[in-house]
Each structure stands twice: as C-alpha cells, then as structure tokens.
A and B are shown apart, each in its own frame.
Chain A
C-alpha cells in the first residue's frame, strides 16, 4: 500500500538501507531541526524523515506497514509514512481550532486513526477520527471525557479506547503554559470507539489530583499501566506508576517512600515487554529508567541513563532505551545495559516505539 496523495516531505536517508529491518521509530532533534528516525534492532538509522517542528509519539499499523508520527502539543501536524518502504511521506493536520497532543492509535483493521486533540477555545479534550484510505481526512471526533488528553491505546477487544486525560488545560496562545494546575482533575477514560460513548472513567482520590496521568501501555488481558507526572510540591510526590482496567479502579504501585521524589515526580514514557511481565518507566529528570515485575508489582531493577526517556520492548523480555544524548541501548532488569549506538548531534525525543510490536 502506498500513501499516494501529495508528498509534502521527502525521505532523505533511505538509499542503501534495508528498510525491511525497521524495528524502532522515534522523534529526534537534529542540530536545530527535527526529524523522525526509523532504526533497526541495533539502533542504526535506516531512514530519517524531516519534520517541520518537534514530533512526539508514533503509532503503527503493522498489517499495512503505515506509521504516523504526531506533532508535540500544541502542534497541528502529523506525518504518515511507510516504515519498510522508502515512499514519500504525507503530512496531514488538525482543523484550525484544534491541535494534537502527540499521541494516536490505529483501529486493528487499519482503516481508522484516533488521535488525542485539544478544542482549545473550549478547554475540551477530544479524540479526532481520521480515515486512512481517504488520505487521513478527518471524519469526526468525540469527547475524551476529560481535559488535556495525552496518550491513548486500544484494548485487545478492538473496540475500547483507553485515554489518559492528563487534566491539564493548555491553549496555544499561551505557549506551553499549564493553565489550571490548582484545579486539575486527571482521569483514565474507557471509550467505545464505535459510538464515542464513555464506558468508565477512573480518577485517583482528591489528594492525588495533581498527578497528571500521561502515558500508557496495555497488556493482553486489557490491564492498563500508566505513568504520571506530579504537578505539586516536590516534597509531596506520591507513587507515580499504577494500573487499572475497564472494571477495576486506578491503583498506584507501592514504591520505596523516597523513590517518587528521587524520580523527580516525573515519568516520561511507559512500556511493557513483549510478555507483559515487565514494565519499564522512564524518569528523564532523574536520569533513570526503572523496571517493575507486573505480577508481583515490585521494583526489579533500574538503568541509569542521563536524559533517558524513550523505552520500547526489545527481544523477548528486554527493552530498547534512548536518551537526549543520542544513546540507544539494549536493557533488561538484572543485567548490564548494552550500548548499541550513539548518534552524535541527535537527541532522542520522549518516545520510542517498537514497530513490530503492533
């Protein structure tokens, strides 16, 4: 399948590289510009697609070989590309009164793409719906059931979207300023993607209302793991990682009491390994990635990596991790990290995905 339509960006580094080896995708800063990188298992660059501004997360539909990278908020562009063929990529945008929040997900059949968006003049979180075959034309929207939706995933039933409503109001006229921290109300919403009906909406207690639920991963049973970002005082940071499901409320994973503050109250990315037994969460402000056993719900290790933020499953029970220093490593709890590549002059952005994991 080709993306067809008009090519608005051009692949600049695909010649001679075997794109069938595509394994990971990440946004990067390159010098003073930005790009989307497609990497192989060893972190070698297979393709570099320039972006008009800073990107955020990528989602992929494995069956059709298409990926989409979303602009970081308050950007209004997304770039669709084929990850295993050097065809031209395609830029599409939100309407003028919306912007992306940086995350999205395909339906299992690859026909529709759902993206978190901001109806900023009304401070309303939305899920925008895009028709893939119609050149990513926007065909609808429904409420995200909260303010500031960020990450979203599709549950294994192919019907239920789970949305991390971070609770933070923003407006492009105010840059990236957070407008409602004293009153924020984050939530995790489960929404029927077919009719937009909210199926469940979980919140933490009032004392945790400043824990912005931001990033998610979902295991095969439909259990949702999340990482939060604390907007309150650093002396009062609560546990930052937890789980929930459609019919089970949010619970926070118990941590050593000093760990949340040591992680600087900030989780940047969340990823389960392929088995779903291990969870990696990154804390770039602390230069740490910590690992949990999901069954025992306990901490089982950590990697120290300055400005490390991207985490993605790699191999059977390990992870690939990336950093703002251009590092790409193989990591697993209980073993030494293996540095696979360092891309000088490049800074890996917040998120990295395993292309084959979709």
Chain B
C-alpha cells in the first residue's frame, strides 16, 4: 500500500466521524465476542509476555549469582546475554499497565523510565560509593527509591563492569557491586513473580478480566474489559511514539541536541523499540478489534495490519552505528518522519475509528485527561 499522508488519514477520520458510526451489533452475542477477544489477548499476549519476563528475570538473577560466585570474568558474557534477554522482554511488556501493573509502582520498580534528569545514574553513584550493606537484602532494597532497584540500576553496574572488568573481583572476592547486582536482580525477579501470581491466582486479574460483573469495582462488563485492552494498545503506541520515536525524530530535525532512549548506554535501544513494536502487533493480532471495522471504518482493517507490518520493517531497518551516542548525522530525517507518522496514525485510528466501531467508549477526556 502506498504511504498515506497524515492529511489523508485525517480526511478519512473526519469522514468516519462525521458520517456516523456503523451500527454496532448489540446484546449477548457482542458481549460474548468481546470477552472471547479479551481472553485471546490475555492468554495469547498478556500472560505469555509476563511469564516470559518472569523467566528471564529469574535467569538473570541466577546468572549474576553464578558469575559472582565463580569469580570467573569469562562468565560476564552470560550475564550480559541474560540482561539483554530480560530487557527486551520488558520492552514487550511495558504497555501492560493494568491489573497488578495499574498505578505504575511495580513497573517503575522493574524499570524506572523515562528518566530525563538522570536520577538513576546519580542515585546509583551515591549507592555504590556508600556501600550500604543493608541494600544487599532484596527485601530492604525493595523499599528504597525506585531508581536504585530495577533494570536501569543494574545497567549502571554492568556498564561499570564492562569498562573495568578487572575491578569486579578483588583478590578473588566478590565486591559490593556484585552483591548489589545480585540483590537488584533478585528484587526484579521477585516483582515479576508477584505480577504473574496476581494475574493467575484464583480470583486474580485473569479471572476478573474474563468474568467482569457488577460486584467487581474495576471491571463491571465486557465493554470495560475490552476498552481496557484497547487502552493498553493506545498506551503502548504512545510510549513508542513519545519516548522512542519522537526523540529520534527531533534529533534528526535538530529540535533536540541530545536524546535518551531506553537502555541506550547498553546498545539495546533499537532492539528495545523493535520488541515494543512486535509486541503491540501481537496484541493486535490476538485482539483483532478490526473485525468490527465496517462501512466507513472498513478501510482501517487493512490499514492497521499494513501499518504494523510497515512499522516493524521500518524499525527493523533502523541502523544506528553509534547507538550509545546518537548524532543527527546518523539519522535519516525522512525515515524518522515516517516512524512518527505510523505511530500517530495507529493511535488515531485505534482510538477514534476502531474503538467506536466496536461500540467501545474511549473518550477524548477519559483517555488522556489532565
């Protein structure tokens, strides 16, 4: 499909909005259909993603523990591999801020991001200088600032190790960094287990999403849970657009001089964006809200599928030779503009055309109020 301009999408949206929504089927059949979609989204996307993160977080904690116990610097690559694996799965999970992740505390403890003022680095520098032994207990660490207890703080330690590998072990003994890294990794693994438990236990969030009812204060009917999945999609697109694509675009156009992308210092930011996009595409494929696209929204069915495919390919083509220090000259402004266009378009189409087509109320004010 030839690239549509923003103006074309706006025109299509305007037509969609002014000519009125297609009649949405009502009644028990629609309710059943929405709940089946939610079940597919939960069992085919939400839970596999969170379980995968829990597994990867546990492996990371084990690898760090084994590395520090061994005193063998050659095992550091195992740690870096495990860190990369955990970070990239977190890139697939960042938009799942509902259920136990609603409110943001747990997700910020797993990874305090965005961090525009460099709080992680400042606080970790103080922690590593102070060498407070109490923080080596994950239960104590869990009560400290979110900036020192997640993947971002672990990244600071791993980067120290990469720059001065000989300093990791002093006379064959683990140093404070090693103990703290183990504590942080165990803390993250513990949080990820807690999240999976909250989803899967009897009466947990899986059950609440699949069986909403008037007694549940959060989810009372099929519309509310289907709207929740849609909002998660919209949040995910907003995160990619605002925290990943826009910084690149504004660097390319000269509007910003420096940018910070997630896990950029580890050289993982492009892979992180790629995983974020893949994850949203998977959610879309499980949820398939485009099945409700009819009449004046029929065009969105192909458009969304094509846009996810194109976005994934465009992010896959993104090559940054100096990822840790990206410069304007590394970027193709037109390619960045297209990334911005795809993410803007997806958010508009999902929120303003598809959700109404499915009869879901995701209002202008409720979605992004202030």
Number of chain A residues whose Cβ lies closer than 8 Å to a Cβ of chain B: 53
Point out the residue from A120, A234, A308, A347 that lies within 8 Å of B217, measured CB to CB.
A234
Q: How far is the CA of A175 from the CA of B285 in the complex (A)?
A: 27
- Which B-chain residue is minimally distant from A287 (CB atoms)? B361
> Is there contact, CB below 8 Å, between B370 and A235?
no
> Is there contact, CB below 8 Å, between B370 and A177?
no
Residues on A with beta carbons closer than 8 Å to the beta carbon of B368: 176
A144-183 CB contact bits vs B (8 Å, 1 = yes)? 0000001000000000000000000001011111110111
Name the segment of B13-21, B130-138, B299-307, B313-321 touching the other chain.
B13-21
Residues on B with beta carbons closer than 8 Å to the beta carbon of A31: 10, 13-14, 17
> Is there contact, CB below 8 Å, between B364 and A347?
yes
- Which B-chain residue is minimally distant from A214 (CB atoms)? B370
> Is there contact, CB below 8 Å, between B363 and A175?
no
Residues on A with beta carbons closer than 8 Å to the beta carbon of B105: 181-182, 232
Query: Which A238-289 residues have a C-beta within 8 angstroms of B?
Result: 258, 261-262, 264, 266, 268, 284-285, 287
Query: Which A2-56 residues have a C-beta within 8 angstroms of B?
Result: 29, 31-32, 56
- Known contacts A32-B13, A181-B105, A233-B103; decide if A261 and B365 are in contact (CB<8 Å): no
Please give the distance in Å from B5's CB to the nearest CB on chain A: 12
A82 interface hit (Cβ, 8 Å): no
B114 interface hit (Cβ, 8 Å): yes
B369 interface hit (Cβ, 8 Å): yes
> Is there contact, CB below 8 Å, between A182 and B108?
yes
Please give the distance in Å from B296's CB to the nearest CB on chain A: 14
Please give the distance in Å from B90's CB to the nearest CB on chain A: 16
B243 interface hit (Cβ, 8 Å): yes
> Is there contact, CB below 8 Å, between B238 and A309?
no
Residues on B with beta carbons closer than 8 Å to the beta carbon of A323: 363, 365
How many CB-defined contacts (below 8 Å) exist between A and B? 125
> Is there contact, CB below 8 Å, between B369 and A345?
no
- Which A-chain residue is minimally distant from B7 (CB atoms)? A32
- Which B-chain residue is minimally distant from A262 (CB atoms)? B217
B117 interface hit (Cβ, 8 Å): yes
> Is there contact, CB below 8 Å, between B363 and A325?
yes
A231 interface hit (Cβ, 8 Å): yes
> Is there contact, CB below 8 Å, between A182 and B109?
yes
Q: How far is the CA of A325 from the CA of B103 in the complex (A)?
A: 27
Residues on A with beta carbons closer than 8 Å to the beta carbon of B217: 234-235, 237, 258, 261-262
Number of chain B residues whose Cβ lies closer than 8 Å to a Cβ of chain A: 39
B104 interface hit (Cβ, 8 Å): yes
Please give the distance in Å from A29's CB to the nearest CB on chain B: 6
A302 interface hit (Cβ, 8 Å): no
- Known contacts A174-B242, A284-B366; decide if A306 and B361 are in contact (CB<8 Å): yes
B28 interface hit (Cβ, 8 Å): no
> Is there contact, CB below 8 Å, between A324 and B116?
no
> Is there contact, CB below 8 Å, between B117 and A181?
no
Residues on B with beta carbons closer than 8 Å to the beta carbon of A171: 114, 116-117
Residues on A with beta carbons closer than 8 Å to the beta carbon of B103: 181, 210, 231-234
Residues on A with beta carbons closer than 8 Å to the beta carbon of B152: none
Residues on A with beta carbons closer than 8 Å to the beta carbon of B243: 174-175, 177
Residues on A with beta carbons closer than 8 Å to the beta carbon of B102: 233-234
Q: How far is the CA of A303 from the CA of B160 in the complex (A)?
A: 58
B146 interface hit (Cβ, 8 Å): yes
Residues on B with beta carbons closer than 8 Å to the beta carbon of A347: 363-365
Query: Which A204-244 residues have a C-beta within 8 angstroms of B?
Result: 210, 214, 229, 231-235, 237
A72 interface hit (Cβ, 8 Å): yes
Residues on B with beta carbons closer than 8 Å to the beta carbon of A325: 363
Residues on B with beta carbons closer than 8 Å to the beta carbon of A150: 370
B247 interface hit (Cβ, 8 Å): yes
A88-129 CB contact bits vs B (8 Å, 1 = yes)? 000000000000001000000000000000001101000000
A350 interface hit (Cβ, 8 Å): yes
B218 interface hit (Cβ, 8 Å): yes
> Is there contact, CB below 8 Å, between B14 and A349?
no
Residues on A with beta carbons closer than 8 Å to the beta carbon of B104: 178, 181-182, 231
A73 interface hit (Cβ, 8 Å): yes
- Known contacts A182-B109, A231-B104; decide if A261 and B218 are in contact (CB<8 Å): yes
B206 interface hit (Cβ, 8 Å): no
Residues on B with beta carbons closer than 8 Å to the beta carbon of A307: 361, 363-366
> Is there contact, CB below 8 Å, between B10 and A102?
no
> Is there contact, CB below 8 Å, between B365 and A350?
yes
B145 interface hit (Cβ, 8 Å): yes
B141 interface hit (Cβ, 8 Å): no
Interface centre among B6, B10, B116 (most CB of A within 10 A): B116
Residues on A with beta carbons closer than 8 Å to the beta carbon of B145: 183
Point out the residue from A176, A262, A344 that lies within 8 Å of B242, measured CB to CB.
A176
Residues on A with beta carbons closer than 8 Å to the beta carbon of B238: 175-176
Q: How far is the CA of A235 from the CA of B98 in the complex (A)?
A: 12
Residues on B with beta carbons closer than 8 Å to the beta carbon of A102: 370
Please give the distance in Å from A125's CB to the nearest CB on chain B: 15
Please give the distance in Å from A173's CB to the nearest CB on chain B: 4
Ordered by A's residue number, 27 sampled pairs between the chains whose C-beta atoms are within 8 Å are: A29-B364, A32-B13, A72-B370, A120-B116, A171-B114, A173-B256, A174-B243, A175-B238, A175-B241, A175-B243, A176-B238, A176-B368, A177-B239, A182-B109, A183-B145, A237-B217, A264-B366, A266-B366, A284-B363, A284-B369, A287-B361, A306-B361, A324-B363, A324-B366, A347-B363, A350-B365, A350-B369
Interface residues of A (CB under 8 A from B): 29, 31-32, 56, 72-73, 102, 120-121, 123, 150, 171, 173-179, 181-183, 210, 214, 229, 231-235, 237, 258, 261-262, 264, 266, 268, 284-285, 287, 306-309, 323-325, 344-345, 347-350
Having A121-B117, A175-B238, A345-B14, one finds 19 other A-B pairs with CB under 8 Å, namely A31-B14, A32-B14, A123-B117, A171-B116, A173-B260, A176-B238, A177-B114, A179-B114, A181-B105, A182-B108, A231-B103, A232-B103, A234-B102, A234-B103, A235-B218, A285-B366, A309-B366, A347-B363, A347-B365
> Which are the 5 A-B pairs with shortest beta-carbon distances?
A307-B363, A175-B242, A324-B364, A261-B217, A174-B114
